[in-house]
Amino acid sequence: MSNENKNQFRPDDHDNDHFLLTTVVGSYPKPKWLNRAKELYEDPDHGFDDGDYDEAKDDAARLITQEHERAGLDVVVDGEMRRNEMVEFFAHRIEGYEFNGPVKVWGHNYFDKPSVVSEVEYDENWLVDEYKFTASATDRPVKVPITGPYTLASWSFNEAYEDDAELAYALADLVNEEIEKLVDAGARYIQIDEPALATTPDDHAIVGEALEHIVEDIPEDVRIGLHVCYGDYSRIYPEILEFPVDEFDLELANGDYDQLDVFKDPEFTKDLALGVTDVHVGEAESVEQIEQNILKGLEIVPPEQLVLSPDCGVKLLPREVAYGKMANMVEAARNVEEKLDAGEIDVERGAPAPADD
């Protein structure tokens, strides 16, 4: 069985017949010196100007991209070194948004929640420059994570549209425009991040409709993934199988795979990007533990449909721990591939009914 959409990212010198693509969700710990550079940039008493700060971000993006290479990942990201927060970063680049100060979200934490005050419009490129820089810093394929329109709508104050669905569809058209520019620049792997779906699962139809806007006129061989973390997946499965994406990136390690059975019936017909390391655990799981987690994924899909990643972004972990999780994940993936090649793994997947039965 082949999977051309996934195999386009297979390295030419890949040693094993089987290929379990390894990647990350997106965010990665920023080097401490980059945080210091930001402080200097924001302090008017220092002469740390735009050029200095841009140079620091370039250096960090190059460093983390190459750190992903060193860990052995098949598809790399720059760790989102230029981004601050997953909604705020994009809201600053979309006409129609404005900021009126932070709001308290939990405990002593604040979120600079933006407002949509007029019709949203595409203004400047969001990620094309980021993608071009990352692609120039590596010979490996680069994935581009983009916050999805439903989350951009849900985590903002809507003061301009009839409801959040209408706002999400308008934002989806802008995401579509950005992806078209990314594809023109050479991008082949796009990940839409929709964490808000897990908190409002009854809105899965809105997310599905927004994704239809997003993929319009995007070539079929451009890989589109959807990352959804946290929540009760039984509230959105199997409906998400109708979404026009190639891959679902799911957080399952954090719950010790207690939701695994959700995806066994009906049959999981898309590719599964399985979280095999828990980003809430402050130490790197052993290679042996990750190998056992990979076998959980093989209970849902055959190897041809399996992709491996951490549960979510790893930006809150110590950098050495994040690196350890990546390196151990890659070693575990290669070990499982060897065992699959040798016929040493036989995972029972059962015979689930097709989704339309």
- Longest CA span, the chain: 67
The pLDDT value given to residue 357:
44
Neighbours of 7 (CB within 10 A): 12
Query: Rounded to whole angstroms, how far apart are CA atoms 65 and 82?
Result: 13
Neighbours of 164 (CB within 10 A): 20
Cα–Cα distance list, 98 to 75, 113, 155, 157, 185 (Å): 35, 9, 13, 10, 29
Determine the residue type at 309: S
Note down pLDDT in tens along the chain; length 357 residues.
579 999 999 999 999 999 999 999 999 999 999 999 999 999 999 899 999 999 999 999 999 999 999 999 999 999 999 998 899 999 999 999 999 888 877 666 778 899 999 999 998 899 999 999 999 999 999 999 999 999 999 999 999 999 999 999 999 999 999 999 999 999 999 999 999 998 898 999 999 999 999 999 999 999 999 999 988 999 999 999 999 999 999 999 999 999 999 999 999 999 999 999 999 999 999 999 999 999 999 999 999 999 999 999 999 999 999 999 999 999 999 999 999 999 999 888 765 555 554
Query: Rounded to whole angstroms, how far apart are CA atoms 217 and 238?
Result: 26
Find out whether 227 and 249 touch, Cβ atoms under 8 Å.
yes
Determine the residue type at 3: N
Query: Rounded to whole angstroms, how far apart are CA atoms 108 and 98?
Result: 23
The pLDDT value given to residue 351:
54
Neighbours of 190 (CB within 10 A): 26
**Domains of the chain and any CATH numbers:** 5-86+119-342 (3.20.20.210)
Tell me which DSSP letter residue 17 carries: S
Could you tell me where the DSSP H helices lie in the chain?
Answer: 4-7, 32-42, 50-71, 88-91, 128-136, 149-154, 164-185, 196-199, 204-215, 287-298, 319-341
Q: What is the dihedral of CA 315, 321, 323, 325, to 10 degrees?
A: -100
The DSSP bridge partners found for residue 110 are: 104
For residue 183, what are its two tokens?
Answer: 């594809």
For residue 167, what are its two tokens?
Answer: 């706002």
The pLDDT value given to residue 348:
80
Query: Rounded to whole angstroms, how far apart are CA atoms 75 and 142?
Result: 5
Cα–Cα distance list, 307 to 10, 97, 150 (Å): 11, 35, 24
Helix, strand, coil percent content, the chain, rounded in steps of 5: 40, 15, 40
The pLDDT value given to residue 22:
98
CA angle 30, 115, 58 (to 5 degrees): 25
Query: Rounded to whole angstroms, how far apart are CA atoms 273 and 74?
Result: 13
Find out whether 143 and 79 touch, Cβ atoms under 8 Å.
no
Task: Work out whether the CA dihedral 219, 220, 222, 226 comes out positive or negative.
Answer: positive
Find out whether 34 and 55 touch, Cβ atoms under 8 Å.
no
> At 73, is the secondary structure helix, strand, or coil?
coil
Query: Rounded to whole angstroms, how far apart are CA atoms 205 and 66?
Result: 39
* Residues 6+ away with beta carbon under 8 Å from 181: 125, 128
